[in-house]
């Protein structure tokens, strides 16, 4: 068997290897503005921002940071939803030579404090709506300047009055002597010049981003991604989607830019191609349907739960979704039934891919227009090597055997910020050990079974949640399903299914058990069924199995 059997399944238009530029990631914006100055770069709540305007604002932000004393290599935290200011702060920080720390606006003070402290961020860009929460944390960190904007303050920024320096701490309202200064983002932009500025970077050495892992399996770690990592992965993803046309595509930004999936396949890739980003501050199914119907996006990357919500919307038949050319699904496994139905509804392609924060993030994808395999994450992208190995010895396993997925390529991280022990545990001889259990078939297509930590061992049998979830998704009454291990005094663990039903369906555990018995070996059939209105998820739709485990443990204590 060839060491890279997947190469024979590459489309003729996709190269096996590519010479990725050693550049500042912000050069994607600079180059697009030179080629398409008047093309719409951003579409936000009815307002349009041309590339020329966007680059002008990014330059102003870079100059503002320099005036505030930011030097190359310093960290700038950006705590914003998808809005023009998030794009400006991201590229402006990179133009100034800063390292961006993208932070989830939904984070509570404890989570935010960890990221700000761990990264050593000196600047924080945030929303007025988040100000009170932010200022509970800022005095406990090294943040020196808080730059505040409003969700309404998209270009041109209106004047607004800012805040008294008060905050609630320890449950009481009191004056706080902040060492930080609170500044108006709009005022800084207006007072800063728009002359070009760009910090020279050593792309393979200098960091562009410290991206914190979602923390679904424990404490979030700061993933160090270089300018070269992000540039390479943006271009790798574009090479795979070779039919996407420069200056023609419209990207529906339902994924948040503070998640590296949205950052790479939406923000960076749209800038690289001179596309238009249709910005959604958050994913809300009614707004998404309206945006597709009215604005006609062509590319819609997302998570399975996003496509599921569209499929099950009661009024979906009244919306025209035919503008969608293709969607790449990531963050969680894509049920085959969802893929088939979404493609029927839109006429476009929906394919499953795979990635992780530590790889910028995309490493594998099914072919979009050629051969693909249901249930597979596809094949490695250009310049990406992948193996399945024995997790204990590192020995490569033959086709069809189950082991740990490891990856090597230009998109693989430099390591974890200030965490050499964790870095050494996952980076070995240039290979990234993902912690995911997988197999590869003879054609070089890879299949994720589950994370090693999610494996269920019942009565000595290994049970992979994804296999059981696929069977549950085929049931006509089920909208969402996730499977996890529950403590069993006899078997050690038993299989528990958490079910969200389709509207109008009634929960019948015995009927579901019978359904599974017809399709699965007896030891894989869920013994426990819990019907819920929703499942706990990350911001990009990945089910928080850790949260389910915590709830299960709490119930045992009661």
The string of DSSP codes covering 374-431 is TT--BEEPTT-EEEEE-TTT-PBPPTT--EEEEEESTTS-SEETT-HHHHHHHEETTE
Residue-level pLDDT at 450: 66
Q: Is 16:7 a contact under the CB 8 Å cutoff?
A: yes
- Provide the percentage of residues in the chain whose pLDDT is more than 70: 89
Domains of the chain, by residue range, sit at: 52-200, 215-306+319-451, 456-557
pTM: 0.82
Comparing 235-249, 387-401, 525-539, the range with the smallest average pLDDT is 525-539
Mean pLDDT of all residues in 333-361: 93
Spell out the residues 6+ positions from residue 322 whose beta carbon is closer than 8 angstroms to its own. Answer: 346, 347, 348
Q: 456-557 — its CATH code?
A: 3.30.300.30
CA distance 443 to 45: 45
Model pLDDT for residues 92-115, shown as the tens digit of each residue: 999 999 999 999 888 888 789 989
CA distance 180 to 182: 7
Residue with tokens 């943040």: 143
C-alpha to C-alpha distances, 136 to 118, 132, 220, nearest whole angstrom: 17, 7, 20
- Mean residue pLDDT of the chain comes to 88
In 10 A of CB 194, how many CB atoms? 15
Spell out the residues 6+ positions from residue 507 whose beta carbon is closer than 8 angstroms to its own. Answer: 499, 501, 529, 531
The CATH class that applies to domain 52-200 reads: alpha beta
User: What architecture (CATH level 2) is domain 215-306+319-451?
Assistant: 3-Layer(aba) Sandwich (3.40)
Counting beta carbons within 10 angstroms of the beta carbon of residue 150, is it exposed (0 to 12), middle (13 to 18) or buried (19 or more)?
middle
Same fold, 52-200 and 456-557: no
Residue-level pLDDT at 421: 93
Over 323-371, what HEC string results? CCCEEEECCCCCCHHHHHHHHHHHCCEEEEEEECHHHCCEEEECCCCCC
pLDDT band at 165 (very low <50, low <70, confident <90, very high): very low
pLDDT band at 514 (very low <50, low <70, confident <90, very high): very high
pLDDT at 153 over 80: no
pLDDT band at 467 (very low <50, low <70, confident <90, very high): confident
Mean pLDDT of all residues in 208-212: 96
Spell out the residues 6+ positions from residue 295 whose beta carbon is closer than 8 angstroms to its own. Answer: 43, 250, 252, 278
Comparing 255-264, 269-278, 480-489, the range with the smallest average pLDDT is 480-489
Q: What does the block give as tokens for 22?
A: 């050693």
Model pLDDT for residues 181-198, shown as the tens digit of each residue: 899 999 999 999 999 997
Residue-level pLDDT at 175: 36
* Cα R_g (the chain), whole angstroms: 24
Q: Is 96:199 a contact under the CB 8 Å cutoff?
A: yes
Model pLDDT for residues 263-308, shown as the tens digit of each residue: 999 999 999 999 999 999 988 899 999 999 999 999 999 988 889 8
- Provide the percentage of residues in the chain whose pLDDT is more than 90: 66
Q: What does the block give as tokens for 245?
A: 């046309």
Residue-level pLDDT at 551: 77
Q: What does the block give as tokens for 76?
A: 């700038």
Mean pLDDT of all residues in 528-555: 78
Spell out the residues 6+ positions from residue 527 whose beta carbon is closer than 8 angstroms to its own. Answer: 488, 494, 495, 496
C-alpha to C-alpha distances, 517 to 28, 477, 487, nearest whole angstrom: 53, 17, 21
Cα pseudo-dihedral 288, 289, 294, 296, rounded to 10: 80
CA distance 289 to 285: 6
Cα pseudo-dihedral 275, 54, 262, 211, rounded to 10: 150
pLDDT band at 451 (very low <50, low <70, confident <90, very high): low
Mean pLDDT of all residues in 226-236: 98
pLDDT band at 162 (very low <50, low <70, confident <90, very high): very low
């Amino acid at each position: 068997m060839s060491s890279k059997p997947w190469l024979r399944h590459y489309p003729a238009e996709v190269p096996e290897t590519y010479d990725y530029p050693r550049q500042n990631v912000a050069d994607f914006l600079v180059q697009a503005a030179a080629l398409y100055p008047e093309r719409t770069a951003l579409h936000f709540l009815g307002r349009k921002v041309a590339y020329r305007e966007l680059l002008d604002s990014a330059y102003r932000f870079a100059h503002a940071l320099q005036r505030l004393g930011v030097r190359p290599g310093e960290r700038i935290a950006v705590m914003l939803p998808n809005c023009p200011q998030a794009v400006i702060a991201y590229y402006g920080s990179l133009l100034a030579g800063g390292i961006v720390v993208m932070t989830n606006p939904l984070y509570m003070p404890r989570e935010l404090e960890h990221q700000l402290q761990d990264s050593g961020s000196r600047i924080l860009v945030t929303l007025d709506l988040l100000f009170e929460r932010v200022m509970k944390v800022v005095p406990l960190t090294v943040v020196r300047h808080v730059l505040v904007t409003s969700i309404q303050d998209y270009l041109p920024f209106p004047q607004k009055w800012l805040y008294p320096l008060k905050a609630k701490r320890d449950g009481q309202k009191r004056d706080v002597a902040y060492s930080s200064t609170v500044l108006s983002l709009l005022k800084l932009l207006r007072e800063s010049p728009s002359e070009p500025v760009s910090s020279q970077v050593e792309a393979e050495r200098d960091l562009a981003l410290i991206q914190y892992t979602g923390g679904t399996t424990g404490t979030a770690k700061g993933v160090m991604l270089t300018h070269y990592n992000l540039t390479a992965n943006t271009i790798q993803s574009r090479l795979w989607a070779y039919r996407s046309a420069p200056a023609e595509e419209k990207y529906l930004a339902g994924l948040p830019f503070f998640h590296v999936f949205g950052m790479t396949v939406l923000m960076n890739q749209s800038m690289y191609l001179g596309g238009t980003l249709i910005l959604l501050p958050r994913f809300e199914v009614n707004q998404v349907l309206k945006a597709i119907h009215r604005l006609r996006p062509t590319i819609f990357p997302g998570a399975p739960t996003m496509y599921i919500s569209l499929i099950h919307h009661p009024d979906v038949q009244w919306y025209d979704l035919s503008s969608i050319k293709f969607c790449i699904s990531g963050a969680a496994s894509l049920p085959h039934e969802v893929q088939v139905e979404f493609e029927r509804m839109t006429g476009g392609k929906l394919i499953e891919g795979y990635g992780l924060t530590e790889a910028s993030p995309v490493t594998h994808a099914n072919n979009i227009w050629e051969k693909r395999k249901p249930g597979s994450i596809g094949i490695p992208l250009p310049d990406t090597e992948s193996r399945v190995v024995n997790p204990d010895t590192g020995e490569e396993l033959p086709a069809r055997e189950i082991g740990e997925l490891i990856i090597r390529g230009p998109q693989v991280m430099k390591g974890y910020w200030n965490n050499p022990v964790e870095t050494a545990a996952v980076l070995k001889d240039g290979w990234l050990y993902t912690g995911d259990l997988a197999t590869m078939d003879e054609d070089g297509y890879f299949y994720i079974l589950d994370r090693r930590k999610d494996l269920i061992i019942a009565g000595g049998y290994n049970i992979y949640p994804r296999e059981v979830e696929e069977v549950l998704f085929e049931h006509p009454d089920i909208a969402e399903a996730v499977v996890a291990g529950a403590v069993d005094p006899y078997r050690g663990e038993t299989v528990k299914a958490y079910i969200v039903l389709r509207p109008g369906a009634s929960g019948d555990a015995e009927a579901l058990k019978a359904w599974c018995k017809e399709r699965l070996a007896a030891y894989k059939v869920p013994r426990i069924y819990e019907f819920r209105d929703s499942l706990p998820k990350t911001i990009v739709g990945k089910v928080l199995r850790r949260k389910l485990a915590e709830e299960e443990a709490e119930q045992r204590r009661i």
